[in-house]
C-alpha cells in the first residue's frame, strides 16, 4: 500500500495551546479559592455603621444604627484584588522560574 504525502502526523499527540488553557484554569481556580478563604479576614475592616431614617412629614429624622453592617462592595473589591494579585504573581513572577519558558 503506497504512503500518502497529504497526511499530517503531529509530533505531539496533545495540542500545544491546550496546556496554556489548562494552566490558566488551574491558576484561576487556585486564586479564587485562596481569595475565598482569606476574604473573611477583611470583614472587620469593611464594617460601617448605617443610618436609620424615619420620614416625618417634610422632615427626616436620622440616627446611626447600633448594629454594624458589612460593605459587600468593598469585600468584592478585596476578593477580586486577591485573585488579580495571585494571577499577576504567577504569570509575572513565579512562572518563569517554575516552568523555565516564556508565556507565548
Q: Quickly state the pLDDT bin for 6 (edges 50, 70, 90).
A: low
Q: Is 100 left (phi over 0), alpha (psi -120 to 50) or beta?
A: left
**Other beta carbons less than 10 A from residue 24's beta carbon:** 13
pTM beyond 0.85: the answer is no
**Domains of the chain, residue spans:** 70-104
Interior angle at CA 102, CA 36 and CA 25, nearest 5: 30
Cβ atoms of 50 and 69 within 8 Å: the answer is: yes
Interior angle at CA 50, CA 46 and CA 51, nearest 5: 160
pLDDT tens digits, 52-73: 666 667 766 666 665 566 678 8
Q: Quickly state the pLDDT bin for 97 (edges 50, 70, 90).
A: confident
Interior angle at CA 16, CA 13 and CA 18, nearest 5: 105
Instruction: Provide the pLDDT for residue 18.
Output: 82
Amino acid at each position: 500500500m503506497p504512503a500518502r504525502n497529504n497526511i499530517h502526523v503531529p509530533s505531539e499527540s496533545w495540542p500545544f495551546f491546550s496546556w496554556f488553557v489548562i494552566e490558566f484554569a488551574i491558576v484561576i481556580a487556585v486564586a479564587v479559592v485562596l481569595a475565598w478563604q482569606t476574604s473573611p479576614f477583611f470583614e472587620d475592616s469593611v464594617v460601617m455603621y448605617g443610618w436609620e431614617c424615619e420620614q416625618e412629614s417634610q422632615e427626616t429624622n436620622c440616627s446611626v444604627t447600633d448594629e454594624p453592617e458589612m460593605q459587600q462592595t468593598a469585600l468584592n473589591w478585596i476578593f477580586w484584588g486577591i485573585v488579580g494579585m495571585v494571577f499577576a504573581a504567577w504569570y509575572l513572577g513565579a512562572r518563569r522560574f517554575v516552568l523555565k519558558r516564556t508565556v507565548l
